[in-house]
Amino acid sequence: MNRLRLALPLLLLPAPDLLADTRDAALKLPDVVISANRQVQARNDSSAANTVFTRDDIDRLQPTSLADLLSRVPGVQVAPTGGRGSLPGIYLRGTKSAQSLVLVDGQRIANATSGDSGLQYLNVDQIERVEVLRGSRSVIYGSDAIGGVIQLFTRRNAEQGLQPRLKLGVGSRQTWERSLGLSGGDARTRFNLGASLDDTAGINSTHRSFPSDGDHDAYRNQSISLNLSHSFSDELEAGFNLLDNRGKSEYDNSFGRYDAASGQTLGQKPYTDYAVSSASGYLDATLSERWQSRLELGHSENRDTKRDTLSDEFSVFNTYRDSVNWQNDVTLDEQNRLILGGDWYEDRFHGSTTFSENSRWNRAAFVQHRFHSEWFSTELGLRRDQNQQFGGQNSWSGTLTLPINPDNDLLLTYSEGFRAPTFNDLYYPDTKYSNPNLLPETSKSYELQWRSQLTDSTQLEASLYRTDLSDAIILDSSGKPQNVASARINGFEAALKQTLFGWQGNLGLSIIDPRDRDSGHTLARRARRTLSLDLDRQFDRFGVGANWQAISRNYDDEDNRNRLGGYALLGLRSSWAINHDVSVSLKVDNLLDRRYARARYSYDAADFSNNHDYREEGRTWLLGLTWTPHL
């Protein structure tokens, strides 16, 4: 594809003398990507299949949550267990949630005990940008990046002067959304401060099994974000990023709790007090015309306290992570570039359960070389991880890019990935349900990409890939984790962008065949066919849009006996700029009020009529008001 055309946004950045201007402005651009190599580069120069949502995209699409936004990405499937705030399964290219890495401003946020990232608790209004890399990136990021990488960047400012914002929303099921923000700065300093408060009465996520289980599961979220950067000179910049989300999420336990005194199973009204936070500081230095160096220090927390309104029972699972990353980008000459870096992080656990081990460190070094010429380009990478629990792990990757003509590129990629076992897998105190001898899960992936600028208004990106998983961790018949499973995932995905008669269309298609290699069964909760279509048009100050998603049937269990039906959903949205400062928006999701299920919480293998699905929200609406006065 014509590299000049796609690199043009980078060339058109304000020509500041300061690093802050370039990086902050790049976060606003759709045709650059940062996560692939931890540096700003044109999307077409990245070897990773990727999808980017800017803040303008988020405002236009009006997603209810990050899971709602991610469901538009080809190759990504989302399976929540109820309404807002419920635990979602995120399946990226057929891999499970714990096999995809989630970052916030470069920091890992996954819970070290379960491997879940807590995406359901992150408020989309505090997010500036979302980047999704499809395919293994373990050479750059190490553990967990088998299926890909999802990185969120918090709200920030790229302009001078003060810019306040206020947003209010009201919707169905007693939903209220409130957010307030202020950004500003001058030629050297930038800052953004934001706060949000959302709550909803929710839905009853499960069918009633106890009288206490028939209530609606409410959700409340309080979030703050802060970004601050300062350029001491043209060559040195320092910055700080913070995102903190906390609140309360109610859920159902349809199985109840056993009361030893009475010998009966009693109902519950359980809820979770949660907190997911990430903080990081960095130094970005231009050491010479050919050498850029960046040092990051980070801290993240994932705290979870489960309680029951009807009893005194509670459990605490808190994990903490400290990290250091140092990366050096070196331009050897016009055709050769080198990335050299090192990572270190330590996970710690504190809670009401006493694990056999409560901390673990990982350190790594990586190198990647990129060669670019008129006829072809190559990218070769190697990473070595040393882990306190399982020892060493090597990861390799290589990409060959062949420009067929100025508007068409072919990319051939081989990549390796791995995932370290979680604290629950390794150190849970009951040895019936843990195994300290577990090895990391490993993967080998092969991919062919085609990127084409078919016309000035039509862009197509397609991928054909295969992923082989080995030493996959599953529970045996007694509930003990073992390295016994293997799987292979064949897939095809395509993303088409088209502008026609003023309408902007984005089509995402995915076809996968994810199978357990031993049994031949399809992996649970992975639909073989998914499609997402967004259409938008702006009529002066009035905008309209629609989203249609279709998901094929799949299985909720590994034995493929418990089938979940396919479904299709239609949503509509609109916006109206009343004046320069005030705008209103209205959206309706699941317009046709379809009943469907994406996950199941219990089933009877002998009597399928006794199966129980997690309920999904029916038709919902949200009316919003945004005030952005220009001072």
Q: Would you state the pLDDT for residue 211?
A: 65
Other CB atoms within 10 Å distance of the CB of residue 237: 24
Q: Average pLDDT for consecutive 10-residue bins of the chain (631 residues)?
A: 44 38 78 93 93 96 96 95 89 95 96 92 97 97 97 88 95 97 92 97 80 82 96 94 97 72 76 97 96 97 93 92 98 96 97 93 98 96 96 96 96 97 91 89 98 94 97 84 92 97 96 94 95 97 98 92 94 97 97 92 57 86 95 79
Please give the residue range of the domain that contains residue 603.
Answer: 3-435+444-453+460-470+478-627
The residue assigned the tokens 């949502």 is: 53
Structure token pair of residue 204: 């009853």
Structure token pair of residue 213: 């289980």
Counting the structural domains of the chain, the total is 1
**82, 89 contact by CB (below 8 A):** no
The CATH number of the domain holding residue 395 is 2.40.170.20
Q: Compute the distance between CA of residue 405 and CA of residue 296 in angstroms, rounded to an integer.
A: 39
Alpha-carbon distances of 559 from 480, 524, 562, 605, 613, rounded to whole Å: 18, 8, 8, 10, 17
**504, 536 contact by CB (below 8 A):** yes
Cβ neighbors of 114 (< 8 A, separation 6 or more) are 98, 317, 422, 424
Q: Would you state the pLDDT for residue 226?
A: 97
Q: Would you state the pLDDT for residue 402?
A: 97
**69, 63 contact by CB (below 8 A):** yes
Work out whether strand 481-500 and strand 503-516 pair parallel, antiparallel, or are unpaired. antiparallel
Structure token pair of residue 296: 């990051």
Q: Compute the distance between CA of residue 480 and CA of residue 281 in angstroms, rounded to an integer.
A: 40
Q: Compute the distance between CA of residue 51 and CA of residue 461 in angstroms, rounded to an integer.
A: 10
Work out whether strand 100-104 and strand 148-154 pair parallel, antiparallel, or are unpaired. parallel
Q: Would you state the pLDDT for residue 3?
A: 44
Q: Would you state the pLDDT for residue 610?
A: 57
Q: Would you state the pLDDT for residue 522?
A: 94
